Amino acid sequence: MKARSPLWKTGTLLTALSLVAPASSALTFNFTDAGGVAAGSAAALGFQAAADLWSSLFTDDVTVNIEVGFTDLGAGILGQSSSTHALVSYDSFRNALTADQTSVFDAAAVSNLPTGSSVPLWVNYTANNPNGSGGAASYLDNDGDDNNSWINLTAANAKALGFNVGSGLDARISFSTAFNWDFDDSDGISSSYFDFIGIAAHEMGHALGFISGVDILDINSPNGTTYYDDDEFIFVSTLDLFRYSTESLAQDALDWSADKRDKYFSIDGGNTPLASFATGKTHGDGRQASHWKDKQGLGLMDPTAAPGEYLQITDYDLLAFDVIGWDLNLEPIPAPGSLALMLAGVAGIGGSLRRRPERSR
């Protein structure tokens, strides 16, 4: 088995908002060098190639500002990202997502969002857990507090939905200086090197909104330490609105718990599992919840990468970004006669994206 290294992400909450900005038609990226990514360097060209990939996929008229660089990230960490975040009321968010519908998948996702002005959560490891303070057993939190009624978006994701977050820095991406990087994927990825463009695209994917607030719950509730009331966890992300489990579905709630149970991606209210999510580094499967489940080949947003592995965007990736507010630059998909048929047609919505090249070394 090939050794695998994790791709980490972090997040920083900086602002709250609810103002809507004008609509749209082309995604662009501005990069600022924080060290090791000088203009014209292999790294700079690699970041631009990753940016061009995302720009080819989405039509949103958004400029994403990212600081990029190389540093010592610690043992086994290939890259990490941190984002500026925005808080939006659930009502405002749902209205924006409703107005942003461009595909049959968007329509299904919007029609199955929780009604009312808050979202019910299946949660654990809180100080006010009715099963016992800090308890691992999950419970239904549907009291409409701040954690139920506010959505936490990355700044880039907020921009895609028309919210005005200003023109400041949207994210920071750091690459490790401890690994060998293959900056040219035209002839494949060398066996002892990591796919720089693919991992850059992965970290940019976090900035675009592929995150889960479950990571905040998970790292702030280690066994035997201080716990926090559920209303302090105002970190439910856009992607979390499509995070379910068998248990949460029975409660008509989203699954926002940190444990090893299967959590899955669903756009029809949890009735149809499409792909599994990672479940948390501390209490879950050992991988950050802001990823697909590891080692299932689900897509670019998997949590790990191996030397020589060529990373590719899959239909699961595209569907996730589509329903959280990004507008896919693909041929319109005819609406089928039923949701079941639509979901069966998920395979192939993206065609060949970042096609694997023939190896010559």
pLDDT, tens digit, 9 for 90 and up, residues 266-297: 999 999 999 999 999 999 999 999 999 999 99
Q: What is the mean pLDDT of residues 177-201?
A: 96
- How far apart (Å, rounded) are the C-alpha atoms in residues 164 and 162? 7
Q: Measured on CA atoms in the order 35, 38, 42, 48, is the torsion positive or negative? A: positive
| pLDDT (0 to 100) of residue 74 | 87
Please determine, for residue 355, whether its predicted confidence score (pLDDT) is greater than 90: no
Please determine, for residue 221, whether its predicted confidence score (pLDDT) is greater than 90: no
Contact 125, 135 (CB under 8 A): yes
Which range, 66-80, 138-152, 325-339, 343-357, is most confident?
A: 138-152
Please determine, for residue 351, whether its predicted confidence score (pLDDT) is greater than 50: yes
Band the pLDDT of 16: cuts 50, 70, 90.
very low
Share of the chain above pLDDT 70, in %: 84
Half-sphere exposure of 349 (CA within 13 A, CB side): 27
- Polymer length in residues for the chain: 361
Please determine, for residue 224, whether its predicted confidence score (pLDDT) is greater than 80: no
Helix (H) or strand (E) holding 9: strand 8-9
Chain-centroid distance of CA 22 in Å reads 24
- How far apart (Å, rounded) are the C-alpha atoms in residues 225 and 314? 39
Please determine, for residue 149, whether its predicted confidence score (pLDDT) is greater than 90: yes
Please determine, for residue 181, whether its predicted confidence score (pLDDT) is greater than 80: yes
Contact 270, 250 (CB under 8 A): no
Band the pLDDT of 361: cuts 50, 70, 90.
very low
pLDDT, tens digit, 9 for 90 and up, residues 88-131: 999 999 999 999 999 999 999 999 999 999 999 999 999 999 99
Band the pLDDT of 9: cuts 50, 70, 90.
very low
Q: What is the mean pLDDT of residues 165-185?
A: 96
Share of the chain above pLDDT 90, in %: 81
- How far apart (Å, rounded) are the C-alpha atoms in residues 293 and 303? 7
Band the pLDDT of 343: cuts 50, 70, 90.
low
Helix then strand then coil, in percent of the chain rounded to 5, is 25, 20, 55
| pLDDT (0 to 100) of residue 26 | 84
pLDDT, tens digit, 9 for 90 and up, residues 27-85: 999 999 999 999 999 999 999 999 999 999 999 999 999 999 999 998 889 999 999 99
Q: What angle do CA 14, 18, 19 make, to 5 degrees?
A: 110
Contact 145, 230 (CB under 8 A): yes
Band the pLDDT of 223: cuts 50, 70, 90.
confident
pTM of the predicted model as reported, rounded to 2 decimal places: 0.90
Comparing 223 with 28, which gets the higher pLDDT? 28
Answer left, alpha or beta for residue 288, where phi above 0 means left and psi between -120 and 50 means alpha.
beta
HEC states along 158-208?
Answer: HHHCCECCCCCCCEEEEEECCCCEECCCECECCCCCEEHHHHHHHHHHHHC
Band the pLDDT of 335: cuts 50, 70, 90.
very low
Mean residue pLDDT across the chain: 89
| pLDDT (0 to 100) of residue 18 | 33
Contact 290, 268 (CB under 8 A): no
Comparing 74 with 235, which gets the higher pLDDT? 235
95-101 long-range contacts, Cβ below 8 Å, gap at least 24? 96/20, 96/161, 96/162, 96/163, 96/325, 97/161, 97/325, 99/162, 100/160, 100/161, 100/162, 100/325, 100/327
Band the pLDDT of 168: cuts 50, 70, 90.
very high
